[in-house]
Amino acid sequence: MAETPLSDLEAILLVGGQGTRLRPLTLGTPKPLLPTAGVPFLAHQLARARSFGVGRIVFATSYRAEMFSEAFGDGSAFGLSIEYMTEETPLGTGGAIRNAAEALTCGPDAPVLVLNGDILSGHDIGDQVARHVSRGAAVTLHLTEVDDPSRFGCVPTDEEGRVTAFLEKTPNPVTNLINAGCYVFTRSVIDSIPAGRVVSVERETFPGLIEDGALVLGYADASYWLDVGTPAAFVKGSRDLVLGRLASPALPGPPGDFLALPGAMISPEAKVSGGSVVGARAVVESGARITGSVLGDDCVVHADAEVVDSVVGIGARVSSGTVLRDVVIGDGAVVGAGNELLAGSRVWPGVVLPECAVRFSSDV
């Protein structure tokens, strides 16, 4: 396989999911476009890919596809060329990759980077591509180490890094390495995926390649990795980016204890910390305490309210004396004074909770 300079590397970005685990945040906005550390989540992935020399990216879209082109256009703001390929019906991971490949321009022997639109990762993309090319692999998978692999399928490798199996969730995993969702394919392998039908790379493509004797490599490391598919993980990802635990060229300012976007008004008597984001034109009044949270644009947190590890949606209002811990407040919702919402509560957009309502610990 001829070596490809990273400046010529093309990528496919999988952004077709509906983000159901993140509702109500994703009722009107696709998960990859949710504001994360001050910018749409994908901005971090695009800037990072560009930093490794990627020049062209094909978006594999489905849910609210038009919003991606509205957000990123032709990619020139990131120094990229972006194309958009939309699935009329969901095709699974493999089908989405195959559909997007119709917009690739590279030859059959070229490496193609495939990224998932809900992953934050600090691994060395350039080294993963170089390993793929030097070994002449069919596919090279980023693998990450987790403390509890029983919650995931695991991916064992031999002493030379060859993937030997894809194992379903089991109480006794044979390895702590799991599929981290970033792949390098040889273009001809993508072209061999059946077109126009649902295909899972995890259940069909990768096991099939292994069975056929193709070289499927694992690129294992222990760098930062996070699937932001749940509200708690989404908040953690934003917090870690603001605090600098994961570097991002897209962060709108230096890392620090919090990030305030243009027009945000924070009282000198308020306390904002722990990697929080205060959205554009948002208001945090005197005595309010914001820790490790994401406050949307134009929201208001009134005096003496406490918001911890939570998301407050665009234009929402948190009244005086309210306590929010591990909570999602939808856009335009109002939480009346004296409420205490805990343990994963989710308030849907536009809902108004009256003053001193009963404590909630479930969806509202």
| 57-101 confidence digits (pLDDT tens) | 998 887 677 788 888 888 888 888 889 888 778 788 888 899 999
Q: Measuring CA to CA, which residue among 188, 32, 214 is closest to residue 115?
A: 32
Q: Highest mean pLDDT: which of 22-36, 68-82, 321-335?
A: 321-335
d(C-alpha 118, C-alpha 189), whole Å: 24
pTM, entire model: 0.87
User: Could you tell me where the DSSP H helices lie in the chain?
Assistant: 41-51, 66-72, 92-100, 125-135, 187-191, 206-211, 231-243
CATH classification number, 6-227, choose in 3.90.550.10, 1.20.1600.10, 3.50.50.60, 3.40.190.10 = 3.90.550.10
Going by C-alpha positions, the residue among 300, 326, 325 that lies closest to residue 313 is 300
Residues whose CB falls within 8 Å of the CB of residue 118, separated by 6 or more in sequence, listed in order: 17, 19, 31, 32, 41, 227, 228, 229
Range(s) for CATH 2.160.10.10 in the chain?
Answer: 257-353
Residue ranges of the chain that CATH labels 3.90.550.10: 6-227
Q: What is the pLDDT of residues 157-185, one digit of tens each?
A: 898 899 998 877 777 778 888 888 899 99
Lookup result for tokens 């205060």: 278
Average pLDDT, the chain: 87
Which are the catalytic amino acids? Answer: 169
List pLDDT tens digits, range 31-46. Answer: 888 899 999 989 999 9
**Phi, psi (degrees; rounded to nearest 5) at 354:** -70, 165
Confidence of residue 4 (pLDDT cuts 50, 70, 90): very low
